[in-house]
Amino acid sequence: MASIGRTYARNNKQVIALVAALERELSLSPIYYAGMALKTPREFEDETLALRNNLSALTASRRFVLVYPRPLPTSALIELGYAMAMKIPTRIFVRDWKHLPFMLRSATRVCPEIAILRYRTLDDVLALLREEREFLQL
């Protein structure tokens, strides 16, 4: 999220709303989202602490969702790599297939636990996740 820059607050608010909708409508709880309590990038934790917290949360996770709106040098890609290594069922939401890092474009052929889905708005992400009952019930 830090790589989003000036639009962080708006994007963070949208993701928090998505998390709340997933918890409320799909009874998914708890959902770990590192940006939940971070209103500005200045509030980000020390890198070491952030990595420890995120990897700990991922280790305890039954599924992983990445919303990747455009090519970004985001730490979420580190989390994705960890989720892939742990074979955590994963859904990656992209607006354009070309936005994905090169090797990630073939992830669904190599990693059966991954699905890559296209979206336009975060409402689309919620709607697509509603359709993913098997994924959500893991």
What is the per-residue pLDDT across 13-23, written as a single tens digit (0 to 9) for each? 888 999 998 88
What is the per-residue pLDDT across 60-88, written as a single tens digit (0 to 9) for each? 999 999 999 889 888 899 999 999 999 99
What is the per-residue pLDDT across 37-61, written as a single tens digit (0 to 9) for each? 776 666 666 788 888 988 999 999 9
CB contact at 8 A, 92 and 63? no
CB contact at 8 A, 116 and 94? yes
pLDDT of 68: 92
State the CATH number of the domain containing residue 38: 3.40.50.450
Q: Is the pLDDT of residue 135 over 90?
A: no
Residue 1's pLDDT band (boundaries 50, 70, 90)?
very low
Q: Is the pLDDT of residue 99 over 90?
A: yes
Neighbours of 30 (CB within 10 A): 9
Number of domains in the chain: 1
The more confident residue out of 38 and 124 is: 124
Domain range holding 102?
2-136
Distances (CA, A) of 5 to 40, 54, 75, 113, 126: 9, 20, 14, 31, 24
Per this entry, what is the length of the chain? 138
pTM higher than the cut 0.75: yes
67's tokens: 């919303």
